[in-house]
Amino acid sequence: MSVRKVYVLTAGVYSDYHILAIFTSRKRAEEYKKKAEKVWPYYQEEIRVEEYPLNIPPRRWVKTCVKISRDGHVIETWKRITKGEVEEIEGDLPFYDAYGNLVWIVHTEDEERAIKVANEIRAIILANDEWGDEEALERRFLGR
C-alpha cells in the first residue's frame, strides 16, 4: 500500500508563514504555484510546495530550546528529542530560569527559526508588560 500524501503551498516565514492551498497531487500543486507566482510576484521566491504524508504520525519529536535574556541576547540553545506518537510539552521546562531569562521551546530542528520564534514571544511578553510573570504567561500561552 502506498503512502497517501498532500502537497501544501506555503509562503512567508516565521510570523508571516501561511498556507495558500492544499492539493492531493504534486502536479496540481506545481501548476497552481506557477499561477500564484504570476499573480503575486512578491511571493516569487517564497512560494513552496511542501509534501506531507497522511495518517502517519511522527516517530520522533525534535524541540529546540532557547534561553534568551530580556534584552534579546541568546544565552544558549539546545535540542531535545523524544520518541512516540504524542509528545507532552507541559511540565517540560519553566518559562524562566533562576536568573530571569526566558526559556522557550519550539518544535523544530532549525535553530535559527527557534531563535526567531523565541524573540517574537519575548516581544509579546514585553509589549504586555508580563516579563517574569509566570502566571500571566501560563494564561497567555497555555490557556490556564
Domain ranges in the chain are 5-53, 60-142
Runs of H (alpha helix) within the chain:
26-39, 111-127, 134-142
What pLDDT score was predicted for residue 91? 52
Q: Which three cell numbers stand for residue 35?
A: 499561477
Convert 88-118 to b/e letters by CB count within 10 Å (16 or more is b): eeeeeeebbeeeebbbbbbeeeeeebbbbbb
Q: What does the DSSP 8-state code read for residue 142? A: H
- Average predicted confidence (pLDDT) for the chain: 85
If we measure between CA atoms, which residue out of 48, 52, 51 comes closest to residue 36?
48
Residue 78 in this model has a pLDDT that exceeds 60: yes
If we measure between CA atoms, which residue out of 71, 83, 68, 70 comes closest to residue 114?
68
Question: Could you tell me the pTM of the whole model?
Answer: 0.69
Residue 31 in this model has a pLDDT that exceeds 90: yes
